[in-house]
Structure 1
Amino acid sequence: MKRYNITVNGKAYDVAVEEVGGSAAAAPVAAAPVAAAPAAPAPAAAPVADGTKVTAPMPGTILDIKVAVGDTVKSGQAICVLEAMKMENDVNAPCDGKVLSVNTTKGSAVETGAVLAVIG
C-alpha cells in the first residue's frame, strides 16, 4: 500500500493505493483519475455564444430570470434576480443588445463569475 495526499477543489484527501501485480504499468493507471479530477469542472461550464458575458457578481441562488433568448435589452436593464446573503440583487445588462443565450435557470445555485447570459 502506498499513501498519498490529494487535494481536490481545495479539500485534502488521504488516499491509500494498493499495488496489484507489482508491474510498472499499474502506477499510471492509478494516476490517471487524479489527473482527470481537476479537469471535471471545465465541462460543467455551459458553452457560450460570442458576445458580452453577464456574470454573477457573487455566489447565490437565481430567484428569477427577467429575459429570454432573443429579447432586446438596454444597458442597466435587469437580466435576473440573484439572492445572496438573504438579499435580492438585480444582475444588470452591461451593454445594449440582443440576448443570445440564457445560461442559468430559476432556483439554480451559481458561483462568482458564472456566466448567466450572453448579450450580442
Structure 2
Amino acid sequence: MMKYNVTVNGKKFEVEVEKVIESKDGAKSPSKHVVEASVNPPKKYWEAPSSEASNDGEKVLSPMPGTITNISITEGEKVEKGQVLCILEAMKMENEIMAPRDAVVSKILVASGKPVKTGDALILLK
C-alpha cells in the first residue's frame, strides 16, 4: 500500500492506494484479497406506485414523505383523471397529487397539516 495526501474542496485527506498486479493474460488483480460489496440502490420516488387497488376501491398513495398542506376535494365528489386531489409538501416544494383516473372520492384518509410517509394511503377512490 502507498499513502498519499489528497486535497478535495479545500479539505485534506490521507488515502492509501493498493498496487494492482497484471497477469500474463492481461487480467488485473489486486495484490491482496478484495471482497466486493453488493449495493442495493434506493427506490426512487418516481418508481413508487401512485395507487393501489383494494377491495374497498383504489388507494391513492403518497409518492414520498412530506406533509399534506391542502386537500382540494371532498368525499363523494366526482374527480377526473389528472385533477389535483391534494398538495404534498416535501423538501419545501409543493407536489400535486392527482387522480389516476376518473372516479368518485370514497374516503379522504389524511388531514391537512399531517405528515405522511412514502406509500401511505391518502385518498380512497371508487
Deviation digits for residues 1-23 of structure 1 (CA, Å, limit 9, x no counterpart): xxxxxxxxxxxxxxxxxxxxxxx
In the TM superposition, what are the counterparts of 1:1-120 in structure 2 within 5 Å?
50-120=56-126
Give the count of matched residue pairs.
73
- The structure richer in helix per residue is 1
CA contact (8 A) 1:49 1:118 kept: no
- The structure richer in strand per residue is 2
In 2, the alpha carbon distance for the partners of 1:95 and 1:119 equals 9
Change (3 A) 1:106 1:81: same
Whose Rg is larger? 2
Aligned residues with identical type, % of pairs: 45
Superposition RMSD in Å: 1.3
| Ranges in structure 1 where 5+ consecutive residues have no aligned partner | 1-47
In 1, the alpha carbon distance for the partners of 2:55 and 2:108 equals 10
Change (3 A) 1:83 1:49: farther
CA contact (8 A) 1:49 1:101 kept: no
Return the structure number with greater relative CO, CA threshold 8 A, min gap 6. Answer: 1
